[in-house]
Amino acid sequence: MKMLLLSNSSTPGFSYLHHAVPLLAKHVAAGQSVVFIPFAGITQDWDSYTDKVGKAFNDLELDIVGIHTQADPAAAIAAADVIMVGGGNTFNLLKECRTRGLLKPITEAVKKGALYVGWSAGSNLACPSIRTTNDMPITDPGGLDALNLFPLQINPHFTNALPTGHQGETREQRIRELLALSPELDVIGLPEGNWIAVSGQQAYAHGPHPTLLFKAGQEAIILPAGHPLL
């Protein structure tokens, strides 16, 4: 399998998905077909979201279509060179994929060689479940199990920073709550600007910031760039 799992899409001072362009350029060729799954988008319509992504990757000359426009979505996924899943609300993303019967076609396509590219909610969807999303459960996705393409749980946008005077839990405290209930899980804290590259049975953490690995009953493990995850 081949996957690029990004923490975020936007970086202050740069254009949308700016940091993703050189990463994707290493894995694609001009003219390749891409199905974009925009269902995490809530406050922007799916056509606009698809257009925004197309403009971000314009220099790569990819053929990007929104899955919501396809008469036979499963067939479009099966024929695609790249399956791209955008960020937004993870619960709505999972709900739409589940109700439209797309989870199995996505899994099968990636296992057969299609490149999976996700950011934020799109990265969460690749995990065994969406239990490490940061999003409000604004809709019922009919279960939390996701694609299970990547065996570890990812917490995108990871930070332990709290605003002055804020009395809520840190992100690590929330992850520790999950691990108290499900100690068998491993959770990757993926800071903004970082990503995970998967090739076959290998996966590596990359980016300008240390990636954190959380295990039940252990201190957070700091992983430098290029560190293997599997």
| Tokens describing residue 14 | 């740069």
How far, in Å, CA of 155 to CA of 189, rounded?
A: 5
How far, in Å, CA of 122 to CA of 126, rounded?
A: 7
9, 68, 123, 135: the catalytic one is 135
Beta-bridge mates of residue 202: 199
Q: Which amino acid makes up residue 113?
A: G
Contacts of 154 (CB under 8 A, 6+ apart): 5, 123, 124, 126, 127, 132, 187, 188, 190, 196
157, 206, 209, 227: the catalytic one is 157
Is 45 among the catalytic positions?
A: no
Q: C-alpha 204: how far from its chain's center? A: 15
Is 63 among the catalytic positions?
A: no
7, 9, 120, 123: the catalytic one is 120
Is 120 among the catalytic positions?
A: yes
Residue with tokens 């009919």: 142
Kindly list the catalytic residues. 120, 135, 157
